[in-house]
Chains A and B, each alone.
Chain A
Amino acid sequence: MTDDLSTNRLPEDLGAKLAVLTDERPEPADPAAPIRLRIKRRQVRRRTTAAAVCAAAATAAVVVASSVLGSIRSAEPGVATPSTSPVPKMVSTHADFRYTPLPKPWSDKPAFTTQPDSLRYAPAFYVARGSIPNESWAVASYYSSGCLVVTDEGPAKAFGGTKDCFYENWQPDQRAQYRTIPAVVPNLSSPLHLTMVMGAVSAEARTVRITAGGKTYSTDAIGTPNSSRFRFFALVVDAAESEITAVTPLTATGQPAPSPS
């Protein structure tokens, strides 16, 4: 610190304080493992993108060629012009399975945890993240279509490692299926009244409106590669479980979204 700042009265132990700030972090058993996995996924994605670009170019070439041929043929009397076949729906691959991206809100951000056996959920994708006093939390959808898990990364313990699936037992007019998890944080001077609400709605939904404790909350209905039938949501509300009175998925136009087909 040789600049003029050192002549001012600086907090002498700022470096030490910053060290304390960054001190309390969960240390992964082997930080290289999840990074190695990310690298592999990125390599797969790069190859997939390259293949998709090649396929798209080939498709475009075929379409142009067929339309040129068609226009030549249509110029001949009595020869019908073949209709151009629709462009096949783009299907991407991720890791070892295929999926069709839904319109936004969309998340294909892979979720990782710091535990050595954490990859049992893979491929998992973040749905939502947030924080409560002293903790952060994250919810991810995982490979089994229609399932959510509170990830065990970071210090988030208030919601445990809860996981639940929402792909069955839908009633004909049921718009949302969800699970509530009260926060449990030991050794606090006053109890928390926070509840996580996580669940699934139809792919037509774009947002989810939650009424709890007389307040209204809104969060995105996130599509992930795990499901083309469902979108997922997760939110922590400042209310007890019993105070959650409504969970309503809404379409892009603000209308109630239909039940998943």
Chain B
Amino acid sequence: MRTEHDFDEFVRARWTATARLAYALTLDHQKAEDLAQDAFTKLWFHWRKLQNGNPEAYLRRIVASSFLSGRRRRWLGERPTDAPPETVVDPDTAQVDERLALRQAMARLSPRQRAAVYLRYAEDLSERTVAEVLGCSVGAVKQHTRRGLEALRADITFATPDELADLTERGIS
């Protein structure tokens, strides 16, 4: 019972960070919640041996590997044959605008690039730790991060004021 209690406390303590990571990877609230719950569930079956180690690191690795392996499986859900409608956003909600723009920018990254960028810059993990989480080399992490940032830099959301002026002059923005 003590073990279960400890695990439940761990879930409550780490839920928000884990759900954030899952959302940054999936960019979908429901898939993120599902991924986070699934990761905690898998963690439970290794809890006894991890309890005195570093369960946070193992949890991150489960989330990342479940996400990356899940991308290779076919989803049996909605499959419309027509293009979805344009996104409708209330023009007054600037924060929603920013969130949607960033979400779209992140969606353009590959899954590994997205994971590497989020773990490096949102969770502030070292390249070595990110490599352990993603199960790849430090060099691969550098490459994913560099390419991810290049793609994000190209996005107008992250342009500097000078670049915005330049884009405006060229009629791009």
Contact = CB atoms under 8 A, between A and B. Distances in A.
Contacts of B84: 238
Interface in B1-24: 4, 7-8, 11-12, 15-16, 19-21, 23-24
Interface size class of B (residues with CB under 8 A): 35 or more
Given A134-B96, A156-B30, A218-B81, 16 more contacts: A8-B149, A9-B160, A10-B153, A15-B122, A18-B24, A22-B19, A25-B33, A35-B37, A35-B40, A39-B44, A105-B76, A138-B30, A187-B90, A188-B90, A217-B80, A219-B79
A133 interface: yes
B45 to A, nearest CB: 8
Given A11-B153, A32-B11, A192-B88, A18 B33 contact: no
Nearest to B86: A133
Contacts of A194: 85
Contacts, number: 168
B102 interface: yes
B122 A22 contact: yes
B113 interface: no
A22 B8 CA distance: 23
29 contacts: A5-B146, A14-B121, A18-B118, A21-B23, A21-B99, A21-B103, A21-B106, A25-B19, A25-B20, A31-B36, A32-B8, A34-B37, A35-B41, A39-B41, A39-B44, A105-B76, A107-B76, A112-B34, A131-B28, A134-B96, A189-B90, A192-B88, A215-B81, A216-B82, A218-B80, A219-B79, A234-B78, A235-B78, A238-B85
